């Protein structure tokens, strides 16, 4: 696929329950991560818009699945997890929403799991990774807020986070919504995902090959 250019990303709808989830007619990429990791800022960076996804200084703001049309694909912004100052019942509700969303794997082409590069992965992050592995969902770990670290410290953190998540350093992409750092690498990853989705749709891959792709992602 040629270089991906996102021209006019738009908000579609929000879903509070599984019945409200949409079944897209094009590839869907999900964005997940801990509360306050910078999901909204990441989405706005990709969209070249400052206010497509609403940002907030208050963690735990995203409690719905928010869908955006990015032209060649649908982006689903999932509720943030791991926010301490939320009632247990609310946390359980978010967990059910995530569970229900990921049940229909056929609708999900890829998952971007966001982790703050300044900190080591939390227990919630590691549980999310285990969940993605268990369900054989193709994913990429995106490190946010790279502008907050020096180049040397960022390099050290990439190595540390790769070790703690049992992933190769090549499976992590460092980004900054403030400077645009890593944006082109993310766009290239999306282009590769869309290319693979198209080939699968055309029957170029069998189900066995598709599962192999997921395991390697």
What is the tens place of the pLDDT at every residue in 56-98? Answer: 545 444 578 999 999 999 999 998 887 555 556 666 776 788 8
Mean pLDDT of the chain: 86
Question: What's the pTM?
Answer: 0.87
- pLDDT band of residue 217 (cuts 50, 70, 90) is low
Please state, in angstroms and rounded to a whole number, the distance separating the CA atoms of residues 143 and 20: 30
More confident position, 189 or 81: 189
More confident position, 187 or 83: 187
Strand residue runs (E) in the chain: 10-15, 28-33, 65-69, 74-77, 110-116, 139-144, 172-174
Half-sphere exposure of 4 (CA within 13 A, CB side): 23
Please state, in angstroms and rounded to a whole number, the distance separating the CA atoms of residues 143 and 114: 6
pLDDT for 60 equals 46
Tens-digit pLDDT profile for residues 116-131: 999 999 999 999 999 9
Q: Nearest to residue 128, comparing CAs of 111, 116, 143?
A: 111
Report yes or no: 22 and 74 within 8 Å, Cβ to Cβ.
yes
């Amino acid at each position: 696929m040629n270089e991906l250019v996102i021209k006019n990303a738009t908000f579609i709808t929000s879903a509070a329950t599984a019945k409200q989830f949409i079944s897209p007619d094009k590839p869907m990429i999900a964005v997940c991560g801990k509360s306050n990791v910078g999901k909204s800022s990441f989405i706005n960076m990709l969209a070249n818009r400052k206010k497509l996804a609403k940002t907030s200084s208050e963690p735990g703001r995203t409690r719905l699945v928010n869908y955006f049309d990015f032209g060649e694909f649908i982006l689903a912004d999932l509720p943030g997890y791991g926010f301490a100052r939320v009632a247990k019942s609310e946390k359980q509700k978010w967990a059910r929403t995530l569970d229900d969303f990921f049940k229909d794997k056929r609708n999900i082409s890829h998952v971007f799991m966001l982790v703050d590069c300044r900190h080591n992965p939390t227990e919630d992050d590691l549980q999310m990774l285990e969940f993605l592995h268990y369900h054989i969902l193709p994913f990429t770990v995106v490190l946010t807020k790279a502008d907050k670290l020096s180049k040397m410290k960022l390099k050290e953190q990439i190595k540390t986070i790769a070790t703690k998540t049992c992933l190769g350093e090549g499976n992590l992409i460092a980004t900054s919504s403030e400077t645009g750092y890593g944006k082109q690498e993310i766009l290239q990853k999306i282009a590769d995902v869309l290319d693979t989705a198209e080939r699968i749709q055309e029957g170029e891959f069998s189900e066995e090959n598709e599962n192999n792709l997921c395991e390697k992602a």
